Structure 1
């Protein structure tokens, strides 16, 4: 259909959810200015979106949980979702895709709680043929993503991708430095064979450009559920369980227990504080992973509390019941845990990049130091003020993130998908 007026009337008659001009302005840039009234009346065309991911809740990681919120938001906007993912023993009950394609799963070495999907090309190809998506959005670049990319290309379906984990850097922490260049080369090839790549931060955008990704890059941010994460969830009962009193400073880490997270830096600072004996302090480490056994054996770690993985109310209470959030990772594409900590009323000690750079105000809602300055980060952890000051800073941190919901990231992703879908006629 080439007549933009007829196309507008077609979409208007189909009762789409909200007015939306982006798609039509891009596609029908020949509309005269005095027809802006028609554009105002245009309604948002629904897309059929195939989302391909090798991680999905109930797996606990930032990629899976963020993708869940983005998928829910897209579906609430009226788009139809085909979810292509590995099968899981437990199910996520927070989202029901319009269709689903499950492939065989394989555990990731050294990450028993995570898995990748088998590249079942024929199954993925058939799912795409049955669903007829306007765009295929590949979230992870593993074997399943590789198969989906080839299946979509064979059917001439536009493809967008997401870059969420710096796999090329992980190799350095698992005695696999020789893989850094090959992995980087593969990621460069993968993303340059998509029409557009979504990244969660400007830092990630710069990193991709530096190692040769030339496709269009679009920042799709992250949000936070301020009803779930809040200082109101502080639990004195939980603090008693931790064996701490009101004047004890609880340092908290939340996330994967893996070498690239550099949790040993936090433990070193904690051990030094305990040795000084000038203030009461307790370290609580929330999460699990391949590095847990080593971390628990570090000097000073015997007095720390390792809770294992937490989710839901237990995780929210753990955040709110601490006094400061300590984050030493230098390999983040975003760092959702920083937002979760701030929403829970905690000041943050972290490096000055990605989420912390965007949200933490130095000496106001936390403390920042340049990347690579490990000793400086330890000093910041060892020079924390008393709990009264920490709580005041935490209240300001919570206030700062109150309006960071998921609506804007969903809109960012939606616009990116409209941009890609222009290469494929809308299925009506």
Structure 2
């Protein structure tokens, strides 16, 4: 089969959506399908030999967030691309102008589509100086997704939210983790020494975008709560984003590593001991799965991936959604339990049950199942 994946973000971008889509594309290619990608960024030199053709479109930075881009194209341009590649089905992972033009062109040509809801952008509006538009955004998202045969999202919580909005045919496509890459065996004494600790002192870690929607104020409070129990514990921030400089200025006591990928990222996870993740805007939270696979004591809110993966007190710690006081209490619990081998082993085991192969097989099934449908069967 011939599948076209359409997305604003794709490697070399460093984020969970880009990594997920690259993994899915690679998996489909390995299963014998012909894959092409439409995105907003050229491949980096090390990706020049990627196993699929990449088409790049015009893009502009998301207002207030130069690290993210919105793709722009026309219906006519997408029709021309479809005429050349002749895809059997599309996967449209964006609701920006790139996604809108892609859906319009597919409707005109009768090409079946599956859409993806990967990011809660509607909840970011207030953080990025666009308050009061969440209801408008929901209406736009409903209109777009209901023109596709199926909408996939990574967690049951998000699927229920989309259904409440009136989006039809919502399905859950979970996430996986490379347990060989994200493993306790990647622990680096040299890296820990660079952070100023031996094996008797825990390291608290955050991995993700350093951005307003990640609840950074609570993150700083979580680090402080952890250090109430272990005052000498380093607090390490792995990632980049629009709030990095201000966070560095306000909290020079934290260790900032910048964005990491591959084995370097895996070593940073494995060399820490506790993972504190206060975000309340995730559709899934890939970093939680990576942290648990690395054997970390993870603290997060009870929704999305943490709800699926964490049994509080057994393999991590959960707080009721958006209850900041409870979250900080759980961070203190994590500080006390950081070196409990059964808890850390249970975290690793929970992740080992979630490999990528089953996700790729489901994704393949979702795409092939819509072939033969027409836009008139599912248009808004």
Q: TM-score over 0.5 for the alignment?
A: yes
Residue 293 of structure 1 corresponds to 245
Distance 1:259 1:405 in 2: 31
Residue 169 of structure 1 corresponds to 123
Residue 413 of structure 1 corresponds to 363
Match of 1:338 among 261, 264, 288: 288
Q: Is the 8 A contact 2:64 2:128 kept in 1?
A: no
Residue 159 of structure 1 corresponds to 113
Shift of 1:91: 4.9
Residue 8 of structure 2 corresponds to 54
Specify the structure having the higher radius of gyration (Cα). Answer: 1
Match of 1:321 among 271, 276, 293: 271
Cα 1:226–1:250 shift into 2, 3 Å: same
SS at match of 1:388: coil
SS at match of 2:126: helix
Match of 2:158 among 204, 228, 231: 204
Q: Which digits, 9 at most, give the CA deviation of each residue in 1:183-236, with x for residues without a partner?
A: 1111111101111111111011011012221x2111111110111111000001
Count of residues paired in the alignment? 373
- Of residues 258-267 and 321-330 in structure 1, the stretch that sits farther from structure 2 once superposed is 258-267
SS at match of 1:245: coil
Distance 2:291 2:234 in 1: 17
Match of 2:61 among 97, 100, 107: 107
Residue 203 of structure 2 corresponds to 250
Distance 2:176 2:127 in 1: 29
Distance 1:157 1:68 in 2: 23
Q: Is the 8 A contact 1:101 1:127 kept in 2?
A: no
Q: Is the 8 A contact 2:10 2:41 kept in 1?
A: no
Gaps of 5+ in 1: 1-46
Q: Is the 8 A contact 1:252 1:284 kept in 2?
A: yes
Q: Which digits, 9 at most, give the CA deviation of each residue in 1:278-300, with x for residues without a partner?
A: 543111011011122232233xx
Q: Is the 8 A contact 2:150 2:169 kept in 1?
A: yes
Q: Is the 8 A contact 1:270 1:283 kept in 2?
A: yes
Residue 71 of structure 1 corresponds to 25
Shift of 1:161: 0.2
Shift of 1:345: 1.0
1:185 matched to 2:143: no
Q: Is the 8 A contact 2:229 2:336 kept in 1?
A: no
Shift of 1:308: 1.1
TM-score by structure 2 length? Answer: 0.93
1:269 matched to 2:222: yes
Distance 2:369 2:243 in 1: 41
Q: Is the 8 A contact 1:218 1:416 kept in 2?
A: no
Q: Which digits, 9 at most, give the CA deviation of each residue in 1:24-62, with x for residues without a partner?
A: xxxxxxxxxxxxxxxxxxxxxxx2111111100110111
User: Deviating runs (4+, > 4 A) in structure 1?
Assistant: 276-279
| 1:5-44 alignment, distance < 5 Å | none
1:303 matched to 2:253: yes
Match of 1:399 among 349, 352, 356: 349
Distance 1:179 1:291 in 2: 23
TM-score by structure 1 length? Answer: 0.83
Cα 1:277–1:349 shift into 2, 3 Å: closer
